[in-house]
Structure 1
């Protein structure tokens, strides 16, 4: 099977090499540094039961803590183990950006994009940290991939569920994820030339579902942010999270 840039098998072989290199770079010296404060907070929260994690009074949505909760039950809580979850998300990002760039441009652009992300020092850094940022990046790419497919002529029936799932999970990964959704909506409004076209109505219906899925967290968010800013002193934080309990 061939495409415009050569045999398909060579493309997949190169992509495999890029993924392998990206994975190795992200696991290299993974436990070289001890757990630092923010990572300790992640571990502390992940050791609670799921009900506690969901009801956390933390501005960071609970998705990463919940995933880390189940991950550490399987892999343990060593420096290497807790950071390995972020490595997996970081490596997945390499593949997702390949898919996204291949769809938006061509497969060669997909390979170049994957290569750049694979060797990006900043991306490697956050892929080695037991925080939500690697997950945030992966879900951002996934949401944007489905968004680009959704707005193209080559859309298929699984694109809408894919967009809904990835974007909802994205919103539950970090507060800044809302900026991605806002940007997508602004783009749709501009593309529709500020007219309520049939396409824009269909898009707004999809956004209504995203909004509904986000309501459980959204109704709690003002109180969480208020409590967070009222208790932002170091002593209160230390008493809230006792690192010796980790």
Structure 2
């Protein structure tokens, strides 16, 4: 009589393990070789003023050093505080983007799961996990991965609202 409950529990455990496995793979691919990549010129725009004593000084310095800079301040706010939490070395500067990339993998999984079911969510998360462009954006201290995450979350919440 109670035989369906263990099957459901086992299925839930397997699904959770699959998501955890994809997240471990995503983390491994994004953390692999993270500190060995040099900082490029466009990445220096992101890190040029992180040593400012206050966040407002960071934004002011960006406007002075790069007056044509048109990206919004959210990423730079997150990066400023992440640099305080971790460090100003190459690894510390890129940890925020790796975390945002992992959140993006989870957001794609949840959007796919909500839209088409567990298998679709797992497949979508695996595709994002293995995407070379997504891995690159997750390792580069630029706001592109935050834009990707916010776009996925916007689409997900729009689907939920409609």
Question: 1:10 matched to which residue of 2?
Answer: 14
Aligned: 1:83 with 2:94: yes
Q: Whole-Å Cα distance in 2 between the matches of residues 145 and 47 of structure 1?
A: 36
Aligned: 1:29 with 2:40: no
Unaligned runs of 5+ in 2: none
Q: Whole-Å Cα distance in 2 between the matches of residues 89 and 126 of structure 1?
A: 10
Aligned: 1:50 with 2:47: no
Question: 1:112 matched to which residue of 2?
Answer: 123
Greater relative contact order (CA < 8 Å, ≥ 6 in sequence): 2
**Cα RMSD (Å):** 1.7
Q: SS where residue 7 of structure 1 aligns?
A: helix
- 8 Å CA contact 1:98–1:111 kept in 2: the answer is yes
Q: Which moved more, 1:116-125 or 1:47-56?
A: 47-56
Residues 93-151 of structure 1, C-alpha deviations (whole Å, 9 max, x = no match): 11000100111111110000000100111100110000001111111111111111011
Q: Whole-Å Cα distance in 2 between the matches of residues 123 and 33 of structure 1?
A: 16
Q: Whole-Å Cα distance in 1 between the matches of residues 59 and 35 of structure 2?
A: 29
Q: Whole-Å Cα distance in 1 between the matches of residues 145 and 134 of structure 2?
A: 8
The number of residues matched between the two structures is 149
The runs of at least 4 consecutive aligned structure 1 residues that moved more than 6 Å come to: none
Q: TM-score, normalised by structure 2?
A: 0.86
Q: Whole-Å Cα distance in 1 between the matches of residues 159 and 18 of structure 2?
A: 24
Deviation at 1:54? 4.7
Q: TM-score, normalised by structure 1?
A: 0.58
Task: Name the larger-Rg structure.
Answer: 1
